[in-house]
Chain A
Amino acid sequence: MRYEAPETIKAAVGLLIKARGQSRILAGGTDLMVQMRSGMLEPDLIMDIKRIPGMRDIVPEKGGFRIGAAVSGSELGEHAKVSKMWPGVVEAVELIGSTQIQGRATMVGNLCNASPAADSVPALIAVGATARIVGNKRTRDVPVETIAKAPGKTILAKGEFVSSVFLPKALPRTGSAYLRFIPRTEMDIAVVGSGVCLTLNPKGVVTKARVSLGAVAARALLVEEAADVLLGNKLNDDVLERLADIASDAATPINDKRGTVAFRKQVAGVLTRRAALIAFQRAKG
């Protein structure tokens, strides 16, 4: 096992390409160290990216924000402008673990760990975020929903890693929200998560919507049918009920130690309805 802390992206990519065996990126380490301790993972190379310039920065870009891969949950939460523009994303990231975990865990780590229950992922999908992948030959930007292929598996090729996430500029009258269900009030992995992002016209009619569910399938789902039900409507009870039904139907969860199929399906609907209402209130301002 080798620990490296390169100071440029080029050096980092070089290390990854040359590495034999398993390589793992260290940003916050809150997933990596747990996996190593359990014996699930014994990487040959651990590459700490925190010494690469930009990795710990939040930078305004095209009216939105670029969030470096090593920005911790606490740092993101303390950034007033990001919180104001995309409260749904920030609240999702802040739900990951305890205060201690927040001091280290990163949004990009949450994305690349590729857990179906990752809190920040449905929130990022809902706001249309993109991830920047750096690698040997090219740098590419992809929608965040394409990063995870299956639990623990990503599209990243050898030599590649995600260097940042880009949150686009929010249109006027846009609101985002993320809710999750856990058995306790803190410290649990989401049993169901729901991210909603809405844009309204001046009359309060939904003109743009994205709905994403977490922990109810092998990876976070973008539920287009749920968005469709909102488009062209105000959020009256009838629309909300239909939204909840569609979200429940879209969920294809499993029974496991954290929840049952029936529970997850029902709560997917409940949370999506509640998140939509919060997003709606936020969009109205």
Chain B
Amino acid sequence: MPLDAKTSNDKKAFKSVGTSPIRPDGIDKVTGRARFGADMSAPGMLVGRILRSPHAHAKIKSIDTSKAEALPGVKAVITSADLPKYKDADEDILINIMARDRALYDGHTVAAVAAIDAAVAKKALKLIKVDYEIMPHVTDVDLAMLPNAPLVHPGRYDGMAENEHLALALQEQGKAKSKRKSTNIVSRYDFGHGDVKKGFKQADVIVEHEFTTEATHQGYIEPHACLANVSSDGSGELWVCTQGHFMVRDVCAALLGMDVSSLRVTPSEIGGGFGGKTTVFIEPVALALSRKAGRPVKVVMSREEVFRATGPTASSSIKVRLGAKKDGRFVAAEAVLKYQGGAFPGSPVEMGAMTAFACYDLANVKIVGYDVVTNRPKQAAYRAPGAPMSAFAVEGCVGELAEKLGMDPIELRKKNAAVEGTKSSYGPTFGPIGLVETLDAAKKHKNYKAKLGKNQGRGVASGFWFNFGGNTCVNINLNVDGTLALAVGTPDIGGSRASMCLMAAEELGIPYDDVRAIVADTSSLGYNDVTDGSRVTFASGLATINAARDCAAKLCKRAAQIWDIPADAVKWENGAAHPAGANAGDFPPLSIKELAGQAHSTGGPIAGHYEVNADGAGPSFATHVVDVEVDPETGATKVLRYLVVQDAGKAVHRAYVEGQFQGGAVQGIGWVLNEEYIYGEDGRLQNAGFLDYRIPVCSDVPMIDTVIVEVPNPGHPYGVRGVGETSIVPPLAAVANAVSAAIGVRATTLPMSPPRILEALKSKSA
């Protein structure tokens, strides 16, 4: 718990928190004035464009840039030779932003140009000659784990502990031993407690299935964009759409061999991220181009580049076994998770393994996860990374268990639900959590009582996400008129500035409209971690509240000075300093406006600060209920009703909390029904566009009903829990359970596209 946090269990009566005011950046966003990544320009600006590998795996024998360099209007051409390995650079990131000896996936950057306009840049790319030698490739996670699979990094794991992973994986699959020294399996994770073998012996019913999910993309509508300007003295500026500009600064400085202090990164408005903008792609390339050309360079990805070369999520292959007594009590649970995360280590399988059974109180549980590399783009975080896939598999088995036992699926989950004091399947013991509350609220909701017609089915699923805290730094500057300038360092991807203003207003007892929040650049504020892990409303909120308290303490000191009484004889209440009690003296309160107006004569400007590596982000649970109708002749699925019930701890801005619930649910609907990365035999991505990578459109979905459950998080002064990610954990399973109920066959392969549903129906009748 943070230093001076009030516990939220004192049922504080809130004035600002819990309302839904208009966001401070709202008008700019409805009038087109807001400036996103691609909306900035600079005098003398060049256009940067990137040449990408058309091959899934190829040796780069040579690159000839001479013709491109000779083209009039071309000001710089770069290859990996212009991006040497500096001491602090992360080698995987370095290779990912610019291929070196080999192209590792379709879309991998091999060269880049900066030219006076787009037409010249496009022409220049065509003049770059790359001599490739095509190598064998692998894109499927199960195939990549085979002993004879083409290797993504030949030799890299030779003689390392990782080789044991292959042996273990083969053993677990009951396959023969292999003598091979190299493998694509880069990590193995193991979680659990108890004795699963013993547990399964006690089971009356056992459900077991193998599941697969395809890679999906975050699908933010704004392609990556940045404007880099490196000066001849080596200092640089970068304007960029990102979830973490401090991360961009540090990573780019290391990649380019710059001092961190010589690079200033300013975050633009960000047009969606969902985890996909938590790393760098074009930013170091733009900086390198600008450095070479001596002019500002803007790089904007096309949609095709976004799909081919940024980070989608992992695809997965998962086996789950779940045993229960006749009364529904789970006695054993086991899962093997295999996730491929593209051409570099780091698939979210560890988090998939940790979250898989987190909803349940289990005596015997074992989870093994394998991180596998393939010839695909390096995965990036996508909303609760790793969790939706394992929840899809586990909750599918829970759903089938409910059917087999003839139990209500909510009651079955309640019977086994994790509660305060439960030892979680990934280790820690839970504090106060709200899973049971979400199940109760779901059962009470009208959607759970709606009658179902022919070809219709209902699905239920629960989900869990840890939520993060992390490094956070906030400044509050008091202006002369008593209004506040609040500077946070976490990019606002869904209305968080409004939430910060609400919390500052709440703490200082002033109107919401008197606080204006900005996202400060890297030179104006201390380091902040990336906007991820549903951490912003929790961690930046916590820092904002404490910065406001710092500000209030300073205001009290000024009042004490004016009244000539000790500072600790002054308290802050309802936007004004008051004598703390009768003994302190009889002074009329001094409002924030009065104190601000006198600040220059009472000791100078007033500002509040807070810096923290925040801990205590309370985990969040959700339960989703969905009804679907399947056309048995075409396999088309229509979502009829959708309900999200989730624990927000304390909803700061109610409408934006609902928005997070709804957005996550609809992304999940896309993932389960239609979205997938489709690779051809040649290892090339076949659907790199919004036409064939099919995210849900407005007419695909119904209204998304929401219930906000509030079980306060003791780790936050107001009880806040992160809400952004949990909402995408249950939908894959919830919709899959509903489709399975409608068609009478267990759906185990995602996406459940119409051809797959017709196939499933055929297998049932056969």
Contacts and interface: CB of A to CB of B under 8 A. Distances in A.
The answer to whether A and B touch directly, with their CB atoms under 8 angstroms apart, is: yes
Interface of A: 38, 181, 183-189, 191, 257-260, 262-263, 266-267, 270-271
Contact residue range for chain B? 20 to 34
A181 B700 contact: no
Contacts of A259: 754-755
Nearest to A244: B633
Given A270-B633, A270-B634, A184 B755 contact: no
Contacts of A266: 633, 758
30 contacts: A38-B304, A183-B636, A183-B674, A183-B754, A184-B694, A184-B699, A184-B700, A185-B697, A186-B697, A186-B700, A187-B690, A187-B691, A187-B694, A187-B697, A188-B691, A188-B694, A189-B691, A189-B692, A257-B692, A259-B754, A260-B755, A262-B758, A262-B759, A263-B635, A263-B754, A263-B758, A267-B633, A267-B758, A270-B634, A271-B634
Interface string B306-346: 00000000000000000000000000000000000000000
Contacts of A187: 690-691, 694, 697
Is the contact region of chain B dominated by helix, strand, or loop, or is it mixed?
A: loop
Contacts of B633: 266-267, 270
B214 to A, nearest CB: 12
B432 interface: no
Nearest to A185: B699
**A183, A184, A257, A258 interface centre (most CB from chain B within 10 Å):** A183
B696 interface: yes
Given A259-B755, A263-B755, A186 B699 contact: yes
B671 to A, nearest CB: 14
A38 B758 CA distance: 34
A257 B694 CA distance: 11
Contacts of B304: 38
A192 to B, nearest CB: 9
A257 B700 contact: no
B714 to A, nearest CB: 44
Interface in B232-253: none
Contacts of A189: 691-692
B429 interface: no
Contacts of A267: 633-634, 754, 758
B231 interface: no
B636 to A, nearest CB: 7
A277 B696 CA distance: 30
A254 to B, nearest CB: 13
Interface in B62-98: none
Contacts of A270: 633-634
A-B residue pairs, 10 tightest by C-beta: A263-B755, A185-B699, A270-B633, A257-B678, A260-B755, A257-B686, A183-B674, A185-B700, A186-B697, A186-B699
B674 A184 contact: yes
Given A257-B692, A259-B755, 8 more contacts: A181-B634, A184-B697, A187-B697, A257-B678, A257-B686, A257-B687, A266-B633, A267-B754
B753 interface: yes
A189 to B, nearest CB: 7
Query: Which of B634, B674, B697, B699 is the most central at the interface, judged by chain A CB atoms within 10 Å of its CB?
Result: B634
Contacts of A184: 674, 694, 696-697, 699-700
Contacts, number: 55
Given A188-B694, A257-B692, A263-B635, A181 B754 contact: yes
Interface string B738-766: 00000000000000011100110000000
A270 B632 CA distance: 10
A258 B694 CA distance: 11
Nearest to A192: B634
A189 B691 CA distance: 8
Interface string B452-475: 000000000000000000000000
Nearest to B122: A39
Contacts of B753: 183
Nearest to B699: A185
Contacts of A185: 697, 699-700
Nearest to B679: A257
Nearest to B687: A257
A262 B692 contact: no
B47 to A, nearest CB: 15
Given A184-B696, A184-B700, A185-B700, A262 B755 contact: yes
Contacts of B687: 257
Nearest to B762: A262
Contacts of B678: 257
A228 to B, nearest CB: 24
Contacts of B694: 183-184, 187-188
A37 to B, nearest CB: 8
B696 to A, nearest CB: 7
Interface in B644-688: 673-674, 678, 686-687
Contacts of A38: 304
Contacts of A188: 691, 694
Contacts of A191: 754
Nearest to B638: A185
Interface string B626-639: 00000001111000
Nearest to B302: A37
Interface string B135-148: 00000000000000
Contact of A258 (B673, B692, B699): B692
A271 B694 CA distance: 22
A52 B696 CA distance: 39
Nearest to A259: B755
A220 B636 CA distance: 23
Contacts of B635: 263
A188 B636 CA distance: 14
A102 to B, nearest CB: 14
A134 B674 CA distance: 43
Interface string B697-728: 10110000000000000000000000000000
Nearest to A191: B754
Contacts of B697: 184-187
Contacts of A258: 692
A257 B753 CA distance: 11
A266 B754 CA distance: 12
A269 B635 CA distance: 14
